[in-house]
Structure 1
Amino acid sequence: MTDAATMLSTEPADDTLAAPGVSPRRAAWQRFVRYRLALPGAITLALLVLAALLGPLLWTVDPNAVDPAQYRRPPGPGHPLGTDSAGRDVLARLLVGARVSLAVGLAAALTATVVGVLLGSLAGYLRGWVDALLNRVTEVFQSFPTIIVIITVAAVMGPSLPGMIIIIGLMDWTGAFRVTRGLTMALREQDAIQAVVGLGAPNSRVVLRHVVPAVLGPATVVATGMVGGVIMLEAALSFLGLGVPPPTASWGSMLNQAQSLSILEGMPWLWVPPGLAIAVTVLSVNFIGEGLRNAVDPKQGRR
C-alpha cells in the first residue's frame, strides 16, 4: 500500500530530480540547498546552538556575578566583550542568554506546532461540526493580538520562562492549524487513506498513524518560520521587563539594560552583541525556512 506521506512528494521539482535512481530524500535535499542561503543559515544556527550548549562550559565566568569595580568596562583582557552596568561579564551573559532565547523560540514553536497539527488534522479529517467549531475557535484566537495577551498575562502572573513558552505556544498555533487542515482535507480523499478506512481502522489511528506523519513536512516549515518570530517576541517582552525574571540573562533583557542614550552612543559593547545575536539567529531561521519550503514543495521556483 502506498504511504500517504510519500504521495505528497511524488511530483519532482524538475527533470533532473525526476531522473531514475534519485531518492525522494536526495531530491528534497537538492531542493533545500538550491536556495543558496539555506545551508549557510543551517550551519550558522548549528553554531549558535553549539555556542549556547558549550559556551557556558568553556567560558566559566559567572554571568550573574556583580562586581562594582568592573562597572561598564570596555572589551579587554578578562572581559572580551566588556562588562555591563552591574559589572557582569557581557560574554558570559550572552552565552547563557542564548540558551534562554533559543529555548523559548524552539519550545514555544514546537508547542504551537503540535497543537496546530493535532487540531488541524482532526478538523480536516472529521470535518462537519468538528471542523466548524475548530475554525470558530481559530478565528477567536486570531482576533486577539498575541503580544497584548502575553503582556496582560505576564503582568498579572509575573514573568516566568515556562509560562512564557506555554502562553506563546497556545496563542500561535493557528498558522499550523490552517496549513494542516488544508493538507488533511486533500489527504482524506487519497486512495491510501480510503484503503485504511476500508480496513476498519478507527479515526484516531488513521489521524495519528497516517495523516499526522504526512503533514509533518509542511508543518516543519511553519514551525521554522515561527521560531524567528518567537525569538523576536521574547526579546520584545524582555526589553519591556515582562520576559524572563532577573537576574536570568536573555538577549532581550540585555537590550533592556542598554536602552539609555549614553549607552547607545558610547557603549556599543552593551547592545551590539545581543542585538547582532538576535538578528543573525532570526535571519538564519528564516533562510532555513525558505530552504525547507523548497524541499517540501517541488513546485517552488529555482533559487
Structure 2
Amino acid sequence: MSRIMDLFLAFPHLLLVLSLTPILQSRLRDTPLGEGSFLPMASLVIILGFFGWAYLARIVRGQVLSLREREFVEAARSFGASHLSVLFRQIIPNVMGVVLVYATMLIPTNISAEAALSFLGVGVKDPTPSWGQMLNAAQSGNWYLSDPWFLAVPGVMLIVTVLAFNLLGDAVRDALDPKASRH
C-alpha cells in the first residue's frame, strides 16, 4: 500500500488532472452523471478525490504507526484486547482528530485546484459559475482594462475563501491539539 501511495505522490497532481479530466468527461457523458451541467463538477470531484487520497493516507499511516507503539495501546493489548478492539477503541479515535484537521486543510487546496482548472478551461463549464471561469473571462476579454472590478472581485473572493478555510483548519488543529497552550 505504501508503494501505491508513493506512485500517486510521484506524479504532478495538476498535470494529471488536466490530462485526465477531458477523458473522464467523455467517458461519463452517457451515464447519469453526464446529464446537464453536472458532468464537469462530477469529473472534478472524482479526479481530485482519486489523486488526493494519497496525501491523507500517508499522514494517517504515519499517525497509526506512531500510535501503535504508545503505552495505552500496549496496555490494552496486555489486558487481552483483540486487534479489532484496539483498532476501534484506541487507534481510530486518536486518528480522527488528525483526519479532521487534514480534511479541513484539503478544502482550500481543492478550491484552488478547481479555480485553476476552470481558469484553464478544463473545469466547470459556463452555466455553472466558478471563480476561475470568471477570472478567465475577465482576463481573456480584456475586461480588466476598462473595469478592473471584473478581475478584482473574483480574485479577492477566491483569496478570502481560501484564507478562511486555512484559518479554519488552523483553528481546528489548535482546538484538537492537547499539547497546545491555551491562553
TM range (shorter): 0.7 to 0.9
1:302 Cα deviation from its structure 2 partner = 7.8
Give 1:280's aligned residue: 160
1:189 Cα deviation from its structure 2 partner = 2.8
Give 2:82's aligned residue: 201
Give 1:149's aligned residue: 16
Whichever of the two has the greater Rg, that structure is 1
CA distance 1:244–1:137, shift in 2 (3 Å)? same
Alignment of 1:1-20 (within 5 A): none
Alignment of 1:177-256 (within 5 A): 177-194=57-74, 196-197=76-77, 199=80, 201-203=82-84, 206-256=86-136
CA distance 1:259–1:177, shift in 2 (3 Å)? same
TM-score (ref. length: structure 1) = 0.50
Q: Distance in 2 between matches of 1:290 and 1:266?
A: 39
AA aligned opposite 2:169: G
Residues 9, 55 of structure 2: 8 Å contact kept: no
CA distance 1:277–1:137, shift in 2 (3 Å)? same
How many residues are aligned here?
169
1:154 Cα deviation from its structure 2 partner = 1.1
AA aligned opposite 2:20: V
Residues 175, 222 of structure 1: 8 Å contact kept: no
Give 1:296's aligned residue: 176
Residues 176, 219 of structure 1: 8 Å contact kept: yes
Alignment of 1:25-64 (within 5 A): none
Give 1:162's aligned residue: 42
1:191 Cα deviation from its structure 2 partner = 4.4
| Aligned partner of 1:269 among 149, 154, 163 | 149
Give 2:34's aligned residue: none
Query: Greater share of helix residues, 1 or 2?
Result: 2
Q: Distance in 2 between matches of 1:301 and 1:152?
A: 46
Q: Distance in 1 between matches of 2:143 and 2:100?
A: 40
Higher relative contact order (CA 8 A, sep 6+): 1
1:232 Cα deviation from its structure 2 partner = 0.6
Residues 258, 270 of structure 1: 8 Å contact kept: yes
Cα deviation, 1:233-270, whole Å, max 9, x if unaligned, reads 10000011111133211121121211136311112232
RMSD: 2.4
Q: Any runs of at least 4 consecutive aligned residues in structure 1 with deviations exceeding 6 A, and if so which?
A: none
Unaligned 5+ runs, structure 1: 1-133
CA distance 1:284–1:238, shift in 2 (3 Å)? same
Cα deviation, 1:216-242, whole Å, max 9, x if unaligned, reads 112222122211111111000001111
CA distance 1:141–1:218, shift in 2 (3 Å)? same
TM-score (ref. length: structure 2) = 0.79
Cα deviation, 1:51-78, whole Å, max 9, x if unaligned, reads xxxxxxxxxxxxxxxxxxxxxxxxxxxx
Residues 13, 51 of structure 2: 8 Å contact kept: yes
Q: Percent identity?
A: 36
1:298 Cα deviation from its structure 2 partner = 4.2
Unaligned 5+ runs, structure 2: 26-38
Give 1:102's aligned residue: none
